[in-house]
Structure 1
């Protein structure tokens, strides 16, 4: 019901923001949450629109902030291993590098 309407409207605004701004960042979600809250409260008047926009923006800011903190915490827990070279010719020779079985 109403959650599907909220989700569809939020996604539509979020995708439009990504297209217009040319980048995908937390500001798109925060703005989308605020605009979705305002649009869905439009029938109740401007005061309700402002309140719902503030709640939507704050809620999405908290969600995005928690996601950023979780990502930073997880990245320190699992450090990256050694980077592999993009070009195989830069690899170190192996003990079997001279052995060519299928030629």
Structure 2
């Protein structure tokens, strides 16, 4: 059941893949967010607002993308480490990775911030895993093989001329 969720690249490549994916997500999402914010905060006039939007995207979006990439790299590294030591790949690795990543990235802010960030990371990844498991189970029910039912044809249906029905068929 859970193994189908985790058919991904092996660990060294997974770290690179997750880092790049997080960077791209941060760059695109940050570009959209910063573009809107730069447009709103620029002086009046359409030309000035577009210039403010582009300037905000160019200055602040790469920083956000770098932060996302750092989170992705740390998360993937911790997850691969847990997979190696636990010798299994299950949702607990993801939950523990979110918790540990939150704590690692808040290290410079002190123990209290580390604990709060660890709890937040663990809860967030727990919710994501629970939603993923329920979605997988719900979708699995849709694709279950249904038994074939060769019951009676609909009312008013006439068999073609010359067709011999199978034994036991009643019309």
Work out whether the TM-score is over 0.5. Answer: yes
Q: CA RMSD in A?
A: 1.3
Residue 21 of structure 1: aligned partner: 86
TM-score (norm 2): 0.47
SS state at 1:23 partner: coil
Runs of 4+ residues over 6 Å off in structure 1: none
User: Which residues in structure 2 correspond to 1:2-81 (within 5 Å)?
Assistant: 2-80=67-145
Note the residue ranges of structure 1 that are not aligned, 5 or more in a row. Answer: 83-103
Residues 24/81 of structure 1: CA separation in 2 closer, same or farther (3 Å cut): farther
Residues 66/45 of structure 1: CA separation in 2 closer, same or farther (3 Å cut): same
Note the residue ranges of structure 2 that are not aligned, 5 or more in a row. Answer: 1-65, 148-171
Distance in 2 separating the partners of 1:41 and 1:79 = 45
Q: Shift in Å at residue 67 of structure 1? A: 0.3
TM-score (norm 1): 0.77
Aligned pairs, how many?
82
Q: Shift in Å at residue 81 of structure 1? A: 6.9
